[in-house]
Amino acid sequence: MSRATRVSTIRRHLVEGGLVDLGLSEAAQKAGHPARREADGFTARQHVDATGALLVIVGAYGPDWFTTMREARHRLEQPYVKCHVDGDAAGLADHELLVRWATSAELQARKTAQGAGQAQLAALMRQQETQQRAEEQRRALEDAGQSGLF
């Protein structure tokens, strides 16, 4: 059984990330209709899955609810928040995300993937710096009047 995920903790992480908590009742959340809200924001409710684990369902609302949902997912999957977000879980509406604490294996896989992406970026930057230095050396030689040697 996974660690309990409290709605107050998830709500705090999202508010600290700049999202607006609309504070809708559970009945209003289950009614859906995310685009009918005037302001963009989120709301969260507690959920117990089939295994008895305590999870959180985060719903995005407002005219641009899809962007709000994307921002909520991004915020909750940050390394310092350590959540796992599932938008494809059974029983969820299009504007809802299922949130639980990530396991150490999921966090390790996320860290490895991020490291691989950063390694590619670092290699590309080193290659560009090498090319730039070679170009600067070539220009310096040309400026010194030694272009005929090459």
Residues in the chain, overall count: 150
Rounded Cα distance between 66 and 36, Å, is: 13
Q: For residue 129, what pLDDT is reported?
A: 94
Q: What is the pLDDT of residues 86-96, one digit of tens each?
A: 888 888 888 88
Torsion of CA 121, 119, 69, 93, to 10 degrees: 130
Q: What is the pLDDT of residues 45-86, one digit of tens each?
A: 888 888 888 889 998 888 888 899 999 999 998 888 888 888
Q: What is the pLDDT of residues 126-146, one digit of tens each?
A: 999 999 999 998 888 888 776
Q: What is the pLDDT of residues 98-120, one digit of tens each?
A: 998 888 888 888 788 777 778 88
Q: For residue 1, what pLDDT is reported?
A: 46
Q: For residue 147, what pLDDT is reported?
A: 57
Q: For residue 4, what pLDDT is reported?
A: 73
pTM over 0.95: no
Residues near 87 by Cβ (< 8 Å), separated by ≥ 6?
69, 73, 96, 97, 98
Concatenated DSSP letters of 64-75: THHHHHHHHHHH
Asked if residues 87 and 98 have their Cβ atoms less than 8 Å apart, the reply is yes
